[in-house]
Each structure stands twice: as structure tokens, then as C-alpha cells.
Structure 1
Amino acid sequence: MSTNYYLRIPACPNACEHCGRKQEIHLGQNAGGWRFLHRAYREYQPVGVDFPVVDRASWLRLLTLGDIYDEYGDHVTREDLIARTEAAQERRPRGDYGTYNFLANGYDFSDGDFC
């Protein structure tokens, strides 16, 4: 069983009707038996994010930009998500590092689309 987590950034106050929706950014996936897979944004950044997300520090910075929800729509606090990612560090590493998946500061990351 796995759970995906998302960051919801509110639309800017000057947004037109077309772009006035909340931005939802994939944060990563917690899958049983595996370490948490953090979503990276190396080549492009989602709207509302003005820095690359390439390691644990930049990923933690991302968490400060909005509210966190799981794929079922339940609100998750930053502290709870951080605790879940730390607890998952004791699990097996992904190990399939390559084009999209990489290791940064001992944490598993991917800048490929996954859910």
C-alpha cells in the first residue's frame, strides 16, 4: 500500500479566472517496505516555486509554501509528514538510481512523474 502527498498553494490574489485555481504539487510517496520517495524538481519548477527541489533542504523549504494533503484529501501537518519520511528512512532504499531517480543526502528522490 502506498500514499502520495501533495502541497496545495493558494492562487495568487491577482490571478485571472483561468489560472485562479490552487496549485497542487506532488511531494512524494510513502510505500510500505520502501523509503519515502521525495519528488524532485530539477529541470523545471511548478508554478509558485522559484527554486529547484534537489535535496532534503530544498524539499523541506517546499513544505513551507502551502498546506499538505494526502491523496485521500486528509490534511497532514508538516511535522507529521517530516516524521513519516524520517521513519521511512529505516526501510529499504529504492536503489534504482539513474536518469530520474537519485540519492541526495541519503534520501531517495525522483524528478520523474510517479504516483
Structure 2
Amino acid sequence: MDGHVPGLRSEQLLREQELLEGNARSYPRGIPVAFQEGRGATLQDVDGNLYVDFFGGAGTLNVGHSHPDVLEASIAQQRKLNHSLDFPTEAKLRLMRNLKSVLPGTLAGSAKIQFGGPTAPMRSKAL
């Protein structure tokens, strides 16, 4: 770790990403690093530099990176079923019940939960 950002290995990976990936990516342009590992609220890049993760995006906002309880639950679920689109599963229904139970006021009785995901065109019943 030499403290330079981006470090040599990050620069290499960023150049390769530029060659292989489309232009839809934006974060590496403003934050030119390649992350290797995350623990709690910290991230480490491939050059060994440590960062406090103030971004805390998808999957890490509530409990941080690599939380042992989340890892254990994730591994247990993946051993059973990795993907089920929008079909009901016990785990999914349990999550929805728990989410609805903490909604305020009358919202708990009237709200519906929507998960973002793949969409398909509606088919006519005449088909």
C-alpha cells in the first residue's frame, strides 16, 4: 500500500474495464479505484488502500459489507433456492409480512409491496 489513488493495480483494472465494458458505468470515472474487499463500513482497494464507505449502497446500507449474519442467511438460502422470479416462497412472504408489520397507521393494512425485477408484456386472455 503506497497511499496513491488510484494505485497501479486499480489503474490496470480500470483500463481493462474501459476496453471491455460499455459506457453506462459512472462511478469509476469519479472515484478511480477498483475495490477488492469490504468489511462493515470500510472498503479496501486492490492496492491495499482503506476507505470509509460513505456511499453504502445496495445491500450494505443497513449492516455494512460482509456482515456475518447476512452472509450466513444468504448462504443458507442459496443452498436451497437462488432465484424464483416473482413466484412466492416462504422466505419472500415472511419478508413481506415483516415489512408490512412495521408500516405506520393504516398503511400496513392497505399497502402492497412491489419488488423491482424483470417485466414481461401482458398477454390478452384471448390468446
- The two structures have a TM-score, normalised by structure 1, of 0.22
- The two structures have a TM-score, normalised by structure 2, of 0.21
Q: Which protein has the bigger strand share?
A: 1
Q: Which structure has the bigger radius of gyration? A: 2
Q: Which protein has the bigger helix share?
A: 2
Q: Which has the higher contact order (CA 8 A, sep 6+)?
A: 1
